[in-house]
Amino acid sequence: MEFEESGIGEECGVFGCVAAGEWPTQLEVAQILTLGLVALQHRGQESAGIVTSTGTNPPTFSTLKGMGLVNTAFKPEDLLKLRYGNLGIGHTRYSTTGISELHNCQPFVVDTLHGKIAVAHNGELVNASALRKKVMRHGVGLSTCSDSELITQLLALTPPMEELDNPDWVARIKNLMTETPTSYSLLVMYKDVIYAVRDPYGNRPLCIGRLVPISKLHSSGAGEADTEGWVVSSESCSFQSIGAKYYREVKPGEIVQISKNGVESLSVVPRPEGDLPAFCIFEYVYFARPDSMFEGQMVYTVRQRCGRQLAIEAPTDADVVSTVPESATPAALGYAQQSGLPYVEVLCKNRYVGRTFIQPNTRLRQLGVAKKFGALTDNLAGKRVVLIDDSIVRGNTISPIIKLLKEAGATEVHIRVASPPIRFPCYMGINIPTKEELIANKPEFKDIAGYIGATSVRYLSVEGLLSAVQGGIESHGKDERISSTTKTTRIGHCTACLTGKYPVELEW
Amino acid sequence: MEFEESGIGEECGVFGCVAAGEWPTQLEVAQILTLGLVALQHRGQESAGIVTSTGTNPPTFSTLKGMGLVNTAFKPEDLLKLRYGNLGIGHTRYSTTGISELHNCQPFVVDTLHGKIAVAHNGELVNASALRKKVMRHGVGLSTCSDSELITQLLALTPPMEELDNPDWVARIKNLMTETPTSYSLLVMYKDVIYAVRDPYGNRPLCIGRLVPISKLHSSGAGEADTEGWVVSSESCSFQSIGAKYYREVKPGEIVQISKNGVESLSVVPRPEGDLPAFCIFEYVYFARPDSMFEGQMVYTVRQRCGRQLAIEAPTDADVVSTVPESATPAALGYAQQSGLPYVEVLCKNRYVGRTFIQPNTRLRQLGVAKKFGALTDNLAGKRVVLIDDSIVRGNTISPIIKLLKEAGATEVHIRVASPPIRFPCYMGINIPTKEELIANKPEFKDIAGYIGATSVRYLSVEGLLSAVQGGIESHGKDERISSTTKTTRIGHCTACLTGKYPVELEW
Amino acid sequence: MEFEESGIGEECGVFGCVAAGEWPTQLEVAQILTLGLVALQHRGQESAGIVTSTGTNPPTFSTLKGMGLVNTAFKPEDLLKLRYGNLGIGHTRYSTTGISELHNCQPFVVDTLHGKIAVAHNGELVNASALRKKVMRHGVGLSTCSDSELITQLLALTPPMEELDNPDWVARIKNLMTETPTSYSLLVMYKDVIYAVRDPYGNRPLCIGRLVPISKLHSSGAGEADTEGWVVSSESCSFQSIGAKYYREVKPGEIVQISKNGVESLSVVPRPEGDLPAFCIFEYVYFARPDSMFEGQMVYTVRQRCGRQLAIEAPTDADVVSTVPESATPAALGYAQQSGLPYVEVLCKNRYVGRTFIQPNTRLRQLGVAKKFGALTDNLAGKRVVLIDDSIVRGNTISPIIKLLKEAGATEVHIRVASPPIRFPCYMGINIPTKEELIANKPEFKDIAGYIGATSVRYLSVEGLLSAVQGGIESHGKDERISSTTKTTRIGHCTACLTGKYPVELEW
Amino acid sequence: MEFEESGIGEECGVFGCVAAGEWPTQLEVAQILTLGLVALQHRGQESAGIVTSTGTNPPTFSTLKGMGLVNTAFKPEDLLKLRYGNLGIGHTRYSTTGISELHNCQPFVVDTLHGKIAVAHNGELVNASALRKKVMRHGVGLSTCSDSELITQLLALTPPMEELDNPDWVARIKNLMTETPTSYSLLVMYKDVIYAVRDPYGNRPLCIGRLVPISKLHSSGAGEADTEGWVVSSESCSFQSIGAKYYREVKPGEIVQISKNGVESLSVVPRPEGDLPAFCIFEYVYFARPDSMFEGQMVYTVRQRCGRQLAIEAPTDADVVSTVPESATPAALGYAQQSGLPYVEVLCKNRYVGRTFIQPNTRLRQLGVAKKFGALTDNLAGKRVVLIDDSIVRGNTISPIIKLLKEAGATEVHIRVASPPIRFPCYMGINIPTKEELIANKPEFKDIAGYIGATSVRYLSVEGLLSAVQGGIESHGKDERISSTTKTTRIGHCTACLTGKYPVELEW
């Protein structure tokens, strides 16, 4: 694949659904799961999987997995296999290993003494290596290198052994949470229940929605009695596409039980005294879909605020402001609003080219990423351009774009990056290049503008980013959409990749 | 497919390439063709095909065809079949018939008394039915319903029969052009030559580019001696992705010969006295990629002018201007600039959902097109919104979007359409619903705002559209990119779908 | 493909079916065609195609084509496209060109002035090259290199042009037959009729069956009134698998019209005075399925007679007789019966290995065809073996088998070939190696036993083969299954590949 | 699938290979594994898998799995992944569950405290259910329902825990063997060693071969020094296709270590005092390829002896003896030899039809299995036929064949079955219908001849079968191919499906 310049990547989305009614449900759970995963597709395109349960006693679990995008991975005839599901969980996966195999596709299902459990997981256990050894020392062989299998085996072997008919999964989940502090947003399905779990640091997102009749979707009067089921998702952007209303976030450390009877908070496992929450700030900066909502605020709006802040921190004497489509657009509009400079488009993206498989010959390789973009010359000729990007990872993507703009007539190209330089690796579920590959750690960074061919380069400060993110949470203090817990909780975010300050000590 | 609401569709893109050197070329012709077709993918996603020629005497023709997107249709190992091509033509197809078969995939190759010819075609012969009868009356059976086969057989049978070794294809092409006035942009490959042909009305686009060393691509000093080959394409947006410089348009009625020796204009077949050219105005409005250039002006800029004109014709008392992403964005920015209203984004598009194959159950079907978009509520709450769309065909797409915006808090939604209402069918290569299906012909059109749920609806006038398109051509009078012919030619465009005035009389 | 040692190959099978009733038929015509083609699969495995007609006025033709075996080429959901067929023709193709493309897949359908015709063809026009020139000189381009397209265009252009509503296809077919003497068994479908045609020399087989209720299939009392439809096929072996009774052969030169009203002989185009019929003798020797019937006799029985004749001509002092499975088994049993030697099996065939795609390394390549067979050592140890093969083409297949038998303990291996040496190419539809590749034309042939490592090698004589084939026809003189025509016709067979005596003069 | 009448099915084949040399080997291990699996394809067609190890310290394991036949499951480009393998094991799977998923495909690989192990398994653990509970009680979740995963987890958790660097896999395997008496032929790969294991009853087959240079393959002089590697396989028929010489069987209860240094017998776990070995007698009757060798005798010869014994037990006054091709042919030839009746062929099998996917309409369904066979009428007309079949399971396959023969002219059809009636289920790896479905347990069995439409029906007796199988072993007493152990071991076979006498008590 030629166009894998993108430097950082999310690791997966999770989605679950429980129908409110009795079995067999009238709700098309498998379809809802599929559409929910499609809405989370930006979080992982390598493989997708769904497991449904009849919710009966004993339940029947049905599994469907496939490589590639959701629409490639699942064939309509296969979805029929899942049609009697009353509840189910799904997963869309981003490969961090480079080895892409169906084998590693989630959710992971195992049969235990108490029956089957299915697990879907977003995040990365910081002490996975030690936990793997522990499990194997117990005599368990691990058939994949995924955290999901590790989690299922940890859940399965946790002592003490309860009564066969009445396993205490919540105690087991709590036990798991004491053994590994972060990072996981987890869905565990057992019989007719989904446990939705977020690690005590709340590093990965997870939120709950309520299915209501489509006709009452947007009306304010859809009351409790109208509830047709519940969904749980990595991002709220998925709710709209399946006809669900945003309900609330799962809190850091919380275990929520979702069943046909409703949503119940079973426990909140606390962080060590003094530790702040550590929701990944890059969800705001880059990963999440702009129409998703975290901590009571819309991602789009945060990005726009980052752009405004950037304009304050790094004003530019220029003619126009523009964006590297599409992810940097909210920040670019924010920059334009704050600076008073006109916003124009200067690049046209060919949405088909990304999937080109050709291994081009020398001649074509020189074209680089420019193949992906067409320059809108009329907006460029003779102009001094401020180009907003959301992040610069390796520096090899922005360089040909700058060249492209200049050749199309721009007299100056000022790069303004709506996030601080990435300097440190992530051990909590994000795929970042090694320290050595990051442009911010290279000698060339001293003259980054010269290196990438820009007239000037400026980054948003860490403080600026935090104020853009956290200022919004505070100002939304009275917003009903923020749970009271969030409001009273002290605010904190994981900025490890920017600052090297990891939320937990890394011992390995 | 659930989301086929789009009302109008292009019919195909054509692309050709000739390497400048001797056989075997050092230029990767098959790769250039593939990337060229990828850049034209928006013009047709049903199937793709390439034919290359060794350009030797006799030549070897190699063919590759497949269903779906270019990247699906061609496998890397298949492309190796074409590797010795010194020249070639390609085609990407949009199905208008609903019957999608490899059988109808272009280019069409036939063996004639003089050797093989390959034909790729964009457009639709207005008198195809009569021509088919003529060919069949001559005793020829036609194996497809495509115009391309019809054209090859017309070229093959045209009398008089020349010397075996020296067929006069140009005479035959001219003869074809006298038999059918429009609509065709045509590539005909024979041995080591590509004939690039545009019908006398110039209804479909066709332009030529020059391949230069990538290192000299953007320098102004790439002279004749640097030419590595020639390309010809439906749209100039494809040039950038393969490292070619824009050279010029093929003129209406022109036959251009492209060979390793260069580009030569062989003939210009005139229109009937008094007839104006009739380049399809919807290429500007909707079909073309915004970074393509027609008649010396960039499509993006024309769309922006349409937005400005719309703001003049249909001003609105509102708070913000926004777009139905992505095609209406230039017009929306134009409207914002002219009106002084701030431009904001209100819809987030899920680029994966369009390909969902699920046949949703009743509950999910009610969600309609809203599944495709997420509302950016922070930009909508309490706002009076001007929403720019590029066209309204059936009226069933915009309606759920308006509902979505209102439910997200918009107090008013004023629809402003950057083109006039479509009222008439197209017989020149565009797939438009039947007259009855067009919303502008329905009784509901009288109260279109009420019908689609908008606060108000206004369209751009035909005059406004023409002034936005033609004003630019005139103002570019001194632009070197416009051929002198274009400049002296009286200006004209096909607006048949808007006005019912077809460029030629339709007799069937 | 590693195991393509087989030297000769058939070129295609054709199959047609007409339901007796009105439209829409209760008969599952598409299914019958599919099963009929499966039964002819041994005649071609490269691609398969079916065209059905509703038989209405005007008719709707539906086409289905695919690469590979019938069961791979047609998907169940695709077959539904053909479900309203009241009649149809099908084709299974053997590639002689090495270039295998869907493009060349039959039946070939063209639209003519009089409507669509579909053509399926088994055989090879001896003067194809001249006919192609003729057609092209008329101004027709040919899009494939298949005889089928050539035949359709010849049928389409044949003057004189009749009334539009009443084309005289029979006159056109007769005209075609005067232009090309051989070789073709042809199905031409037009509206509600199939014309079944055999060339005047009867070089390729074609026979007719009658569909009766399954319950009456084997009873002798299934009368005319029970007829549910008609089928026409390259080989009668297909009749049993679709529930049809053998009706009769199409005679050399005959044009038979098959419609819902029954079977009607329209014409018999004669051979030149003095010429004998020339049915391909290799259909008996090798190609046909043993349960097929030609000229009133079962192929199996003819092969058995060849074995008996071979025992008379080439007796052997040995212990056991055996076969190269599976095609030589009838001859081996015949040889055993005649010679009185016991018949045993000595080779076990791995039916999966033939499709192995591995390109083995040097070490494995040395194993050669032995990979395909396991030696049954208990039947070989200390034995003098007569091994019957049906033909030896290149000599590279039998050699490793002999080595295998000897290593497994055989003390002597006498090869007896149940047909004469192949010395000449075929121009009538059979894929035979070039003259130079044929072992019988090589210097090594003088000591063929030494060359292939056998104790002795003997071939059946041409006279012996002819007597085995023709003796049966004569002795079946009173058999009701032989049409009176066949009985009175002087007997003759094409032995060109053995004798170099071609049925028609080859001028090119 | 229409033609799934076959009543019984094998469960899998296993194959392993170790190259003699250092890493990287010159031997194409992955190719040898693939060809070995192709030769075992008759034992399982659902899925196939290969795992190779570099044999280095630490080793790299590479896995390749796929659905369907070996040639479908593995693509050439995928095989390249395995190219550095110095050793490897493979598996071809027969689905007994009806649920066919890649998930269950073997070999099963797990990571343990000591590194990765891979397991391939043929057979069925009689106490699998109890063992699963045991494993799960230990806190292990099981992700599949396959015995292979169960075995790997049992091997992983067996206490006591040895030194990390020096796990005692042999002790663990022995421990496993004490926990489950049967049925398993097992390959366990760890680092650079394959452990080949047969359960103490020797219920499933397993034998060892020696790779020698192809040039020395058949010469008696290929000494130790010529050894290029070792293979281990369910059946010896695979040796010939990869160029290996038969070495010896793995003995019941034996653990053999195969490494680049050679073959070493590590241990023989004994059966309980007084128990006989229990090799599955149906391997002789039906499953194995006829050119495989068990207990020193060729399967083909045993089947032939069964036919002879049947002729003694059930003589028939008839004209000819024939077979239901192809599996019953050895027995038919044996019957013919013993009885003096002539052997003829009466059925021609269409080898393509078995894979037809069509769900035929009522009319075609009535044809039943007859679609698969063509009757050779010339050998049937007026004849009293003895038709040998290898087994009758449900009775629905033979019935339409008898009808077919009668309609083709047979005056009498006497069915002689070369094995006793199947009356009991198998719990040791063979897929047999439930007791109720077996024709021998139905009331109709009293008049089985009437039920299936035969003139008479006779089965081989259990004693006759045992004498045919065991008589050969005794008479081969001096054969060098039988290991001395086998010779001194008392002879015994599992006839549970015929007699209900299972080799071990079944307690569940």
pLDDT in tens, B427-475: 888 877 788 888 899 999 999 999 999 999 999 999 999 999 998 786 6
> Which residues in chain C have Cβ-Cβ distances shorter than 8 Å to B82?
none
Positions of E strands within D346-471? 347-349, 373-375, 384-389, 412-417, 456-459
Of D132, D137, D138, Cβ closest to residue A139: D138
D355 touches chain A (CB under 8 A): no
% of chain C at pLDDT higher than 90: 59
Taking the C-alpha atoms of residue B483 and residue B295, their distance in angstroms, rounded to an integer, is: 8
Q: How far apart are CA B341 and CA A332, in angstroms?
A: 17
Identify the residue among C143, C168, C172 best suited for mutation to test binding to B, counting B beta carbons within 10 A and taking the highest: C143
Lowest average pLDDT, out of A184-198, B148-162, C479-493, goes to: C479-493
pLDDT at D23 (0 to 100): 65
DSSP D65-79: EEESSHHHH--HHHH
Beta bridge partners of C118: C109, C189
Report d(CA D454, CA A187) in Å as an integer. 62
Backbone φ/ψ region at D115: left (φ over 0), alpha (ψ -120 to 50), beta: left
Q: If you average pLDDT over residues C140-149, what whole number do you get?
A: 88
The overall average pLDDT reported for chain C is 86
Residues 6 or more apart whose Cβ sits within 8 Å of residue D80: none
Q: What is the pLDDT of residue B74?
A: 87
Nearby residues of A65 by Cβ (< 8 Å), 6 or more positions away:
A47, A48, A49, A50, A73, A102, A105
Q: In the predicted model, what is the mean pLDDT of residues D365-388?
A: 86
Least confident segment among B379-393, B395-409, D400-414? B395-409
Residue A244: phi and psi, rounded to 5, are: -120, 150
Predicted confidence band at B68 (pLDDT cuts at 50, 70, 90)?
confident
- Which pair of structure tokens corresponds to residue C74? 């047609």
Q: What is the pLDDT of residue B102?
A: 67
Residue positions of D in the annotated binding site? Answer: 280, 327, 389-390, 426, 494, 497
Which residues lie below 8 Å from residue B479, measured CB to CB, with a gap of 6+? B296
Q: Residues A102, A104, A109, A111: is their CA dihedral positive or negative?
A: positive
Cα–Cα distance, C214 to C244 (Å, whole number): 8
Please give the Cα distance from B406 to A220 (Å, whole number): 13
**Which chain D residue shows the shortest CA-CA distance from C218?**
D407
pLDDT digits (tens, 9 = 90+) for D48-73: 999 999 998 889 999 998 888 888 88
Residue whose token pair is 């117990």: A138
- What residues have CB less than 8 Å from A147, skipping those under 6 apart? A121, A123, A124, A125, A128, A184
Residues of D in contact with C78 (CB under 8 A): none
Q: What angle do CA C274, C279, C280 make, to 5 degrees?
A: 130
- Say which residue the tokens 């004109």 belong to: B309
Residue of C34, C289, C374 lying closest to D374 (CB–CB) = C289
Report CA dihedral (B41, B43, B44, B49) to the nearest 10 degrees. Answer: -60
Q: Which two tokens stand for residue A161?
A: 């052994």
User: Does the pLDDT of residue D4 top 50, yes or no?
Assistant: no
Touching subunits of D (3+ CB pairs, under 8 Å) are A, C
Stretch C64-92: mean pLDDT: 86
A446-449 CB contacts, 8 Å cutoff, 24+ apart: A448/A392, A448/A395, A449/A415
Q: Is D214 on the interface with C (CB under 8 A)?
A: yes
User: What is the side-by-side order of every strand in the sheet holding C47-53?
Assistant: C61-67, C47-53, C87-93, C13-19, C229-233, C207-211, C244-249
Establish whether A237 is a catalytic residue: no
Q: Is the pLDDT of residue D99 over 80?
A: no
Answer whether D456's CB lies under 8 Å from D316's CB.
Answer: yes
Question: In which band, very low, low, confident or very high, does the pLDDT at C77 lie, cut at 50, 70 and 90?
Answer: confident
Instruction: Give residue B362's identity as a one-letter amino acid code.
Output: T
Average pLDDT, chain A: 86
Question: Which B-chain residues 222-241 have CB contacts (< 8 A) with chain A?
Answer: 228, 237, 240-241
Which among A142, A157, A159 has the least Cβ separation from residue D110?
Answer: A142
CB D315 within 8 A of CB D340: no
In chain B, residues with a C-beta closer than 8 Å to the C-beta of A34 are: 356, 358
Catalytic choice (B12, B17, B237, B306):
B12
Instruction: Measure the CA–CA gap between C82 and A29, rounded to whole angstroms.
Output: 35
Neighbours of B273 (CB within 10 A): 5
> Rounded to whole angstroms, how far apart are CA atoms D316 and D321?
10
Which residue of A343, A366, A377 is in closest CB contact with B298? A377
Give me the mean pLDDT over the A213-217 stretch. 77
Q: Are B236 and B207 in contact (CB under 8 A)?
A: yes
* pLDDT (0 to 100) of residue B214: 78
The subunits that touch chain C, with at least 3 C-beta pairs less than 8 Å apart, are B, D
Comparing CB atoms, the residue among B113, B137, B138 nearest residue C137 is B113
Q: State the binding site of D for [4Fe-4S] cluster.
A: 280, 426, 494, 497
Q: Which residue has the tokens 């689905």?
A: D95
> Band of the pLDDT at D355, cuts 50, 70, 90?
very low
pLDDT reported for residue D145: 82
- B370 contacts in A (CB within 8 Å)? 240-241
Which residue would you say has higher pLDDT here, B114 or A314? A314
Contact residues, chain D, for A110 at CB < 8 Å: 141-143
pLDDT value at position B356? 45
Q: What is the pLDDT of residue B362?
A: 61
Average confidence (pLDDT) over D376-394: 93
- Partners of residue D342 in chain C, C-beta under 8 Å: 337
Three-class DSSP category at C8: coil
The tokens for C169 are 């296809």
What chain A residue is nearest to B340 in terms of C-alpha separation?
A: A342
For residues B118-125, give the mean pLDDT: 93
Closest-CA residue of B relative to C145 is: B111
Domains of chain A: 294-463 (3.40.50.2020)
Picking from C140, C153, C189 by the largest number of B CB atoms within 10 A of its own CB, the best residue to mutate is: C140
Sheet holding A262-268, edge to edge: A108-112, A115-123, A184-190, A193-198, A254-259, A262-268
How confident is the model over B108-118, as a mean pLDDT? Answer: 91
| Mean pLDDT confidence for B87-103 | 73
Give, in order, the Cα–Cα distances in Å from D255 to each of D117, D250, D270. 16, 8, 11
Q: Which two tokens stand for residue C360?
A: 């083995």
- The answer to whether residue B359 scores a pLDDT higher than 70 is no
The CA distance from B383 to B322, in Å, is 11
Cβ distance A39 to B350 less than 8 Å, yes or no, reads: yes
**Least CB-CB distance to D157: which of A113, A133, A139?**
A139
Question: Mind spelling out the 3-state secondary structure of A409-429?
Answer: CCCEEEEEECCCCCCCCCCCC
Helix, coil or strand: residue A101: coil
Res A501 pLDDT > 70: yes
Work out the average pLDDT over D310-338: 96
ipTM: 0.89
For A429, the token pair is 């579920």
Distance CA D233, CA B226 (A): 64
Chain A residues close to B356, C-beta within 8 Å: 34-35, 38, 70-71
What tokens were used for C252?
């050399």
Instruction: Give B-chain residues touching A403 at CB under 8 angstroms.
Output: 218
Contact A374 B343 (CB under 8 A): no
Both tokens assigned to D262: 């050679």
Q: Say how many Å lie between the first and final Cα of chain D, rounded.
A: 33
CA distance C507 to chain B (A): 21
Of these ranges, C359-373, D160-174, D300-314, the one predicted with the greatest mean pLDDT is: D300-314
Considering chain A, what percentage of its residues have pLDDT values greater than 90?
A: 59
Does any CB of chain C come closer than 8 Å to the CB of residue B351? no
In the annotated binding site of B, the residues are 280, 327, 389-390, 426, 494, 497
Region of poorest pLDDT, from B479-483, C251-255, C427-431: B479-483
A130 touches chain D (CB under 8 A): no
From the list A295, A106, A94, the residue with the least C-alpha distance to A202 is A295
pLDDT category at A489 given cuts 50, 70, 90 is low
Q: What is the mean pLDDT of residues C452-479?
A: 86
Query: Please, which pLDDT band fits residue C436 given cuts at 50, 70 and 90?
Result: confident
Residue A200 near residue A177, CB atoms below 8 Å: yes
- Distances in Å between the alpha carbon of D127 and those of B170, D130, D134, D159? 83, 5, 11, 20
Q: With the CA atoms of D202, D203, D208 and D209 taken in that order, what torsion angle do they form, in degrees rounded to the nearest 10?
A: 140
Across the interface, of C27, C289, C374, the residue whose CB is closest to D289 is C374
Contact B385, B410 (CB under 8 A): yes
Phi, psi for D274 (deg, rounded to 5): 90, -20
Cα-flanking dihedrals φ and ψ of residue B231, to 5°? -130, 155
**Pairwise CA distance, residues A184 & A11, whole Å:** 11
Per-residue pLDDT of A6-51, as tens digits, reads 456 667 999 999 998 776 676 789 989 999 999 999 998 888 999 9
Which residue type occupies C287? Answer: F
Per-residue pLDDT tens for C308-365?
A: 999 999 999 999 999 998 889 999 999 999 999 999 999 998 877 654 445 556 667 6
Residue identified by tokens 């190992």 is: B77
The DSSP call for residue C186 is E
What share of residues in chain D are helix, strand, coil (percent, to 5)? 35, 25, 45
Contact between B355 and B334 (Cβ < 8 Å)? no
Q: Rounded CA gap, D424 and D419, in Å?
A: 14
Compare all CA atoms of chain C with the CA of B117 and give the residue at the minimum distance.
C141
Return the pLDDT at C148: 87
Q: How confident is the model at residue C421 (pLDDT cuts 50, 70, 90)?
A: very high
Q: Give the CA count within 13 Å in the CB-facing half-sphere of C236.
A: 25
Q: D residues 387-446 near C, CB within 8 Å?
A: 403-404, 406-407
**pLDDT tens, position by position, C164-198:** 567 889 999 999 999 999 999 999 999 999 999 99
pLDDT computed for residue A490 by the predictor? 74
Higher-pLDDT residue of C479, B258: B258
Nearest residue in C to B112, CA atom:
C141
How do residues A181-194 score in pLDDT, each as one tens digit? 999 999 999 999 99
Q: What is the DSSP string of A324-362?
A: STTTTHHHHHHHHHHH-PPB---EEE-TTGGG------H
Residue C482 has pLDDT above 70, yes or no: no
Q: Is B357 on the interface with A (CB under 8 A)?
A: yes
Q: Which residues of B are annotated as a binding site for [4Fe-4S] cluster?
A: 280, 426, 494, 497
Under the banding of pLDDT at 50, 70 and 90, the label for residue B80 is confident
Single-letter amino acid code for the residue at D440: A
Q: Crossing angle of helices D128-137/D147-157, nearest 10°?
A: 50
**Selected residue with higher pLDDT from A221 and A449:** A449
